A and B are shown apart, each in its own frame.
Chain A
Amino acid sequence: MLHHAKPLARLIGELGKLPGIGPKSAQRMAYHILRSSASDVQALAEALLEVKERIRFCAECFNFSEEETCSVCRDPRRNAHVVCVVAEPRDIMAIERTQEYRGLYHVLQGLVSPRDGIMPEMLRVRELLQRIATRGIEEVIVATNPTVEGDTTALYLAKLLKPVGVRVTLLAHGLPVGAELDYADPATLSSALQYRREL
């Protein structure tokens, strides 16, 4: 059997640790890097190091940030009385793309997952309570995935925040835009019925 030269094998091994990258893709990427110019490879390596060095979590909302607080938290035009709770920083990007929302965010850094043993105290829940207690927050919008873990997290937060006296709303889980009713799976349809709105 033919083996890769040691440095190449090492690169394939490191790339293979990335999410969604199998051994085949890792090999393809490694070959691509090998064929690239020295300056391109240099730029890639620097970008990797820089992101690790410069990016940290926002002290307020736990979004990625270059400074102590992130650009959303620092923006004075945003409504500081509303906080949208998401699982990951990438969810902020998704909501920002809608240009519908002008409040702040709170990144939990995960979802409550009973089956994986991920408990609320392993997430940024305490920090959320702290923010609500000290920052004059009036509404919390829980925007988690419409999955069992997302629903578990949302219901747990709703229950936890009820006695705190803030308004808690959940994202409506409905039919995907452009879908046909009789094609929708029953779980989606049943959730669309549950969270139906007044016209």
Chain B
Amino acid sequence: MSDTVVTDPTSITIEVVYRGIFQKTLAQRICRSVVLAARKRGHTGTAFGRYGDSPERNGVPAKYFAVVAVNDLELEASMAKYEPSVVDIAVAVDDTLVKGVESWAWYGRQPIWKPVHQNGAVLVTSEKTADEVLAQTDAAERPYTLGIVPGLASFAGLWVYKDDHTDYRVLGALAKVVPQWVRIDDVKELIREQTKDEGAVASAQFGFDATVLRPIDVGEGTSGHEVLQFEKPGWTTMRPGVIVDARKPGERNPYYKKYGARTLRPVVNFDTCIKCTMCWLDCPDECFEVTPEGHYEVVYEACIGCGICAQVCPVKDCIVMVDELRFEDNDDKWQMWKSDHAGYNAWFEQKTGIPVDPNASAAAGGDGAVAGGEE
């Protein structure tokens, strides 16, 4: 019981934080199944996506919700809402989301645990350890339970869904932390009905068994993330005619930075860069800057990790896409390459697992390299 989350006796609210479009179907399936599984023991519920996320954008953090209650009367308090202000459990189906949720300009960058109440839970699908994930999560303001649901982030497209059982594992993990609302037997029965696939049923049991829970105390986590919060003006201070000032020449957007959309970041081997400009030219987010030497460095505050630069780069492994959780900051790296060439190259090899010298054999240690994209 110590593992389980204490909730209001009359209802529970679960939010799934996900990558827009890539995980839309996944988040929807999880939240619908929570309601349907709870229904098996007579509860009622509602599932809905956050209206403000629609239309969703690839990679931009979005939310889906499931609310389960003992009866329709208790459910009413959770109806006709865009977004619950307090939730019992937040599920992040991509571990890079623990770096913060930045959904649109005035939303700012919000810690993954922001809506989770005291002693609630944050479940993260990840292949990393709880400590590794915690190291990238904003320092806790309230105690909560961090749960790691084993598995890679499941990304799919809008039309072709990749059924890798992530939703079943997450449902199993939910049954572990809130058995009073979602029973593992109900989950398995539901999945059996829906899929007639014992493998899927087994995945739910695996999520239940293999999810690692770690209690988080106040202050645990990192304080290294940028604070991005805005005060909304009122009708007397807003400019009439729905007008905002244009960006200044040479300025990047200080309000909506959007790097929170990034799951992979491009790392550049300046030694092999041939200064062809293609990465800069084809970047839809204007995130490259030319250096005095004519190299192109990534401005990580603006990069959303689409991977186009790595694809259009004519030099093999000159731009490598690397798991975002392997980085602590958005600092400009070309300066490091200038001031500490050997240090930068060691860093490059450690992050990417790829030798700076194309003729050398694979560097030791690093293993972070990820293909620019998969089919």
* A, B from the same assembly: no
